[in-house]
Structure 1
Amino acid sequence: MSTSLILLCLLIIGAAAYVLGRTRANTVSGGKSSGLHSRPGYYGSYAAIWALLPALIVLGLWLAISPSIVDSSVRGAFPENVRSQPAATQSLAFGMVSAIARGLPFLTEQELAGARDGSLDLQAKLAEKGVPLAGPSEPYMVEAAAHLNALRATSRAVMTAVVILLSLAGAALALRNIAPTFRARNKVERVILWALLGASSIAILTTVGIVLSMLSEAARFFAMVPANEFFFGTVWDPRFAGAGGNTFGSFGLVPLLAGTLYIGFVAMLVAVPVGLFAAIYMAEYAAPKVRSVAKPLLEVLAGIPTIVYGFFALVTVGPFLRDISAAINGLLTGNYANFIQAQSVITAGIVMGIMLIPYVSSLSDDIITAVPRALRDGSLGLGATRSETIKRVILPAALPGVVGALLMTASRAIGETMIVVLAAGVAARIQINPFEPMTTVTVKIVNQLTGDLEFTSPQTLVAFALGITLFVITLCLNIYALYIVRKYREQYE
């Protein structure tokens, strides 16, 4: 039985347990809800939980553990000459066995016999069935594939029986426990509490897992390359050098960090004024009808994929700035050579700033709107104009929250990749001309991890060192932003 059908059976059993639990609760109380400790729905929920939860836990564990046991058993049955091969060769052989196992159900008994004795071209036959093989098969692979299918079928049958029987047993046990004095509500609420605790822990555990995985690989990188050369190096050239040279290349972080901060700074120069002025207009000047239309339209920008912004920069903004610079240069000097390259810091900064406008405007609008109405009324009552009230009262009151929003937006800019790849290029260098290309940390992470790579050389492990560095930078920005926002909330809530 497939996993989908098993889940459907469990849902049916759980629904039946809920109905039976409610019915039994009403029966034992003589139809009087006042005679029960909890409402009848809690008794039904208690029965449904016992019918579903243990069975789902066993199902999840079985699906997670069973494949590794089956695969290990099949690998152990390989011939001795195959098991003595390196791990990569064994993995390739097992991949062939898995592919053959998918194609065996399409073969007749006569074709299967031919595959076992080698008289059938199994590769061509399975290709006709839509199951391609990486190469010609060997007789032992056919036997191993049949063994693999048999083990999987047995595991699936046993899993189905165990899960369904466990669900029925849990429902029966829960129904037997139902009594007028049984505290069903407490039991159900305890399960819900643990479920909420587990859901809230997922984000924390995921963050911890990401950090530990990056730290472990970054530690391997720093075992090969000194940390001071990475953090203070000014040359990025992670290629194998010639004989007698530095075989690890150069891994200077400074050019990448400079490009990241430079492009992020240009983006904030574009996003902050536009976004902040838009937030002030929508919060203080716009009519309700205008606000109800303008705010959603502005926030549509946040839903556009960043790769689309990259295309926009590559096809429209970059060529436009290049042509404008050539025209200006021609008018001033008579030489129509462009001084702004299509891929440059300013191109990436402008497009990234456009992408960040809805973040700045939405967060700032919420913060400005949260300023107490009494401050506005008091200022206007003392004779100040609306513009003076905004400059002298509202913005200073909302400043801590706005600064926090800008810091969170900056962390979003620092982590952007696709716009920089298409709009700023991949040149890792230190320069202050915004009309020339630069690159960022995220772009180099993508470059170092592109292709069929093994994480054994510093050329690939450096991506994890870059990742943990970027993580620390954005984490510090977010922590500081949350600190400022918390201070704002403590002052005005």
Structure 2
Amino acid sequence: MQTNQLLLIFCSVLLILGLIAFFAGRSKAARLRASGTSMYAQPDQYAWFAVLSTAGPAVLVGVLGAFVLLLLGAEIHPLYLLSASLVVAAAGLAVGVVQVRADFHARKAIERVIRWVLAGAALISIFTTFGILISIIFESLRFFEMHSFWEFITGTTWNPGASFLAAAGRGDGSGAQFGSVPLFAGTFMITLIAMLVAVPIGLASAIYMSEYAPTKVRTIAKPLLEVLAGIPTVVYGFFAAITVAPIIVNIAGFFGLDASYNNAVAPGVVMGIMIIPFISSLSDDVINAVPDSMRQGSLALGMTKGETIRDVVVPAALPGVISASLLGMSRALGETMIVVMAAGMRPNLTANPLEDMTTVTVRIVAALTGDQEFESAETLSAFALGLVLFAVTLTLNLVSVIMIRRFREKYRVNNL
């Protein structure tokens, strides 16, 4: 019997056991309550506890068995695993029905189960983050055994050369240079341009939507603005390469400047347009959360609507605006397709945004694709770049958290 059929049978039997547990638990609780016994919870709560005690342990056994089967390489036949899960479910059904008694608080038991499920979800997120970090660190250490960490951080030339031949035993890779400064310079240049476009437009649109726009306009305009978030990045890349880049070249030529068709301005502008919905939508929600009494008090003191927005509403919403901007910046730091199509793939250390350049994520993709040896320095350099980018993003997060706390404390003190 195939695994899909076994899973279908398992789910069907587990559903039947859950229904039996629900009706048996509710029936028993209703009989106890009808006999005049004082109960700690409602009959339906006892019924749902019986369902949880039936399905929960069975699913847990199935997940743990699948983990052992897939990740640890153990040989467990799916039929035996699913049969054991159903046996556990039947035992849980019996325990759940037995627990339906006057001195058992089913509601608190359900709340404890929910608390443990939520804690498990949080732990999964934390462990996943540590797993990603550990996997990157180990591969990065292998790269730094081949090339100096200091040269990687401070080097101004990125030229892997024929390092992949060294991994195949056909060269020494001595001419390879892995200076990451051009890559991070390009990343920060394009991200800065994107934020210069996205933050003013996103914040201004959020202020208009929340403070000035009529209800009908807001109902129509906000969903249309958020449509930008659903456009694929490859479409943005086409737009940047075919439409925006020629416009940038023509504008630069009008002022007597030389601009490459693969320049940093085009992807930066388009990337800024792409992240406007993130900043605008979150900032709009934060501004709407500012108590209306603060606006009314400001207007009662003689301030105009514009002064109220500038001196009261925006400072109160500033921590949320910073968080929205940070989310948009993280989105810009990790973007790849727009940069590939509009800015090129050449590592170029320059302060001129009209020249071509590339970003860290583009080089990571280039290093991990193709027919290169995984043991080569060029491939392993992708993990080193990812580690440094992780550290940079973490630093930005920490700085933003500090800024948010300071603004909150300052605003709280001023209002006290």
Q: Is the 8 A contact 1:33 1:39 kept in 2?
A: no
Task: Report the Cα distance in structure 2 between the residues aligned to 1:263 and 1:307, rounded to whole angstroms.
Answer: 17
The equivalent position to 1:181 in structure 2, one of 97, 103, 118, is: 103
Instruction: Give a deviation string over 1:209-230, Cα, whole Å, max 9, x none.
Output: 1111111111111122111010
Partner of residue 281, structure 2:
362
Query: Rg: which structure is higher?
Result: 1
Instruction: Give a deviation string over 1:293-323, Cα, whole Å, max 9, x none.
Output: 2222112212222222112212322234345
Matching of residue 52 in structure 1 with residue 55 in structure 2: yes
After superposition, the Cα gap between the structure-2 partners of 1:283 and 1:72, relative to the gap in structure 1 and judged at 3 Å, is closer
Shift of 1:397: 4.6
Task: Report the Cα distance in structure 1 between the residues aligned to 2:260 and 2:269, rounded to whole angstroms.
Answer: 14
After superposition, the Cα gap between the structure-2 partners of 1:248 and 1:35, relative to the gap in structure 1 and judged at 3 Å, is farther
Task: Report the Cα distance in structure 2 between the residues aligned to 1:239 and 1:292, rounded to whole angstroms.
Answer: 55
Partner of residue 394, structure 2:
475
The equivalent position to 1:14 in structure 2, one of 1, 18, 22, is: 18
Partner of residue 27, structure 2:
23
Identity %: 46
Partner of residue 83, structure 2:
161
Instruction: Give a deviation string over 1:107-127, Cα, whole Å, max 9, x none.
Output: xxxxxxxxxxxxxxxxxxxxx
After superposition, the Cα gap between the structure-2 partners of 1:313 and 1:56, relative to the gap in structure 1 and judged at 3 Å, is same
Instruction: Output the amino acid matched with 1:14.
Output: G
Task: Report the Cα distance in structure 1 between the residues aligned to 2:65 and 2:52, rounded to whole angstroms.
Answer: 19
After superposition, the Cα gap between the structure-2 partners of 1:372 and 1:190, relative to the gap in structure 1 and judged at 3 Å, is closer
The equivalent position to 1:421 in structure 2, one of 340, 352, 365, is: 340
After superposition, the Cα gap between the structure-2 partners of 1:62 and 1:381, relative to the gap in structure 1 and judged at 3 Å, is closer
Structure 1: segments with no counterpart, 5+ residues: 74-151, 333-337
Partner of residue 353, structure 1:
272
Partner of residue 236, structure 2:
309
Instruction: Output the amino acid matched with 1:11.
Output: L
Task: Report the Cα distance in structure 2 between the residues aligned to 1:18 and 1:489, rounded to whole angstroms.
Answer: 49
Instruction: Output the amino acid matched with 1:25.
Output: A
Shift of 1:30: 5.6
Partner of residue 369, structure 2:
450
Matching of residue 35 in structure 1 with residue 50 in structure 2: no
Partner of residue 263, structure 2:
344
Instruction: Output the amino acid matched with 2:24.
Output: L
Task: Report the Cα distance in structure 2 between the residues aligned to 1:407 and 1:173, rounded to whole angstroms.
Answer: 50
Instruction: Output the amino acid matched with 1:421.
Output: V
After superposition, the Cα gap between the structure-2 partners of 1:68 and 1:416, relative to the gap in structure 1 and judged at 3 Å, is closer
Partner of residue 92, structure 1:
none
Q: Is the 8 A contact 1:345 1:437 kept in 2?
A: yes
Task: Report the Cα distance in structure 2 between the residues aligned to 1:15 and 1:72, rounded to whole angstroms.
Answer: 33
Task: Report the Cα distance in structure 1 between the residues aligned to 2:34 and 2:145, rounded to whole angstroms.
Answer: 73
Task: Report the Cα distance in structure 2 between the residues aligned to 1:275 and 1:160, rounded to whole angstroms.
Answer: 52
After superposition, the Cα gap between the structure-2 partners of 1:7 and 1:421, relative to the gap in structure 1 and judged at 3 Å, is same
Q: TM-score, normalised by structure 1?
A: 0.74
After superposition, the Cα gap between the structure-2 partners of 1:446 and 1:50, relative to the gap in structure 1 and judged at 3 Å, is same
Matching of residue 292 in structure 1 with residue 296 in structure 2: no
Shift of 1:483: 3.4
Instruction: Give a deviation string over 1:168-193, Cα, whole Å, max 9, x none.
Output: 22212332343222333333322222
Partner of residue 84, structure 1:
none
Q: Is the 8 A contact 1:400 1:487 kept in 2?
A: no
**Secondary structure in 1 matching 2:174:** coil
Task: Report the Cα distance in structure 1 between the residues aligned to 2:363 and 2:69, rounded to whole angstroms.
Answer: 39
Matching of residue 265 in structure 1 with residue 192 in structure 2: yes
Partner of residue 97, structure 1:
none
Partner of residue 299, structure 2:
380
Matching of residue 276 in structure 1 with residue 203 in structure 2: yes
Q: Is the 8 A contact 1:345 1:438 kept in 2?
A: yes
Equivalenced residues, count: 403
**Secondary structure in 1 matching 2:358:** coil
Q: Residues 431-450 of structure 1 correspond to what in structure 2 (within 5 A)?
A: 431-450=350-369
The equivalent position to 1:213 in structure 2, one of 123, 132, 135, is: 135
Task: Report the Cα distance in structure 2 between the residues aligned to 1:435 and 1:247, rounded to whole angstroms.
Answer: 33
**Secondary structure in 1 matching 2:53:** helix
Structure 2: segments with no counterpart, 5+ residues: none
Q: TM-score, normalised by structure 2?
A: 0.87
Instruction: Output the amino acid matched with 1:230.
Output: F
After superposition, the Cα gap between the structure-2 partners of 1:382 and 1:411, relative to the gap in structure 1 and judged at 3 Å, is same
Shift of 1:271: 1.5
Provide the alpha-carbon RMSD of the alignment: 2.8
Higher RCO (CA-CA < 8 Å; seq separation 6+): 2
Larger deviation, residues 176-185 vs 270-279: 176-185
**Secondary structure in 1 matching 2:34:** coil
Q: Is the 8 A contact 1:272 1:406 kept in 2?
A: yes
Partner of residue 118, structure 2:
196
